[in-house]
Amino acid sequence: MSPYVVTVGTDVRDLRAADHLLLKLAAELALPEGAFGCTHLVHGERPRVVLSFTTASPEAARALISKEYEVATGAPDEVGRAVVYPGVAALTGTVTVAELLSGSAIDRVRVLGSPDQPPPEQRVVTRDHVRPQWQAGELVLTLMPAAGGVLVPFEVPDPTPCCADH
């Protein structure tokens, strides 16, 4: 069965709030195993973050419409940031690159500042916040070196808002 993709319009303007809404809706919809939930940045006159869900059927779209969400068929773009995806629940604590790739839908990792792939035994401290992004049809997680010779996801779980100290 082909996946059914829907986009949910929101007025949310930051990723943290979009993540919370996406996780709330995913739980309410009781998405099937193998489903994806992504955030997408919308630029232009009305910048915001919209959500997409890949499911097995259109029931999720009907459920969202009944909750008065603006819903469209298809994804808004091809570069969504995955929040819900197969294997995400197991990506907690410290895992190896091999465990990350074999136990989740993530297709590959890339390390900032390095042209090479990290070795399979390389440790990754997930910070319980692993947000890969779709790139050319692959789910890619960007990592960066951290203290102690480990890697961490580039995106931090609780970013400091711009100008927080002003």
| Cα distances (angstroms) measured from residue 145 to each of 90, 98, 123, 151 | 21, 17, 10, 5
Is residue 2 very low, low, confident or very high in pLDDT (cuts 50, 70, 90)?
low
Question: Any idea how long the chain is?
Answer: 166
The rounded distance, in Å, linking the Cα atoms of 151 and 146 is 5
How confident is the model at residue 10, as a pLDDT? 92
Query: What radius of gyration, in Å, describes the C-alpha atoms of the chain?
Result: 17
pLDDT (tens digit, 9 = 90+) per residue, 50-68?
999 997 578 888 889 998 9
86 within 8 A of 105, measured Cβ to Cβ: yes
Please report the sign of the dihedral spanned by the C-alpha atoms of residue 20, residue 61, residue 44, residue 143: positive
- Could you tell me what percent of the chain has a pLDDT over 90? 75
| The model's pTM | 0.90
Does residue 163 surpass a pLDDT of 80? Answer: no
Predicted confidence at residue 121, as pLDDT, reads: 98
Structure tokens at 53: 């869900």
pLDDT tens-place string over residues 26-59: 998 888 888 999 999 999 898 999 999 997 578 8
Contacts with 84 (C-beta within 8 Å, 6 or more apart), sequence order: 22, 23, 26, 31, 35, 36, 37, 38, 53
Among 123, 102, 96, 29, CA closest to 67: 29
CB 42 within 8 A of CB 49: yes
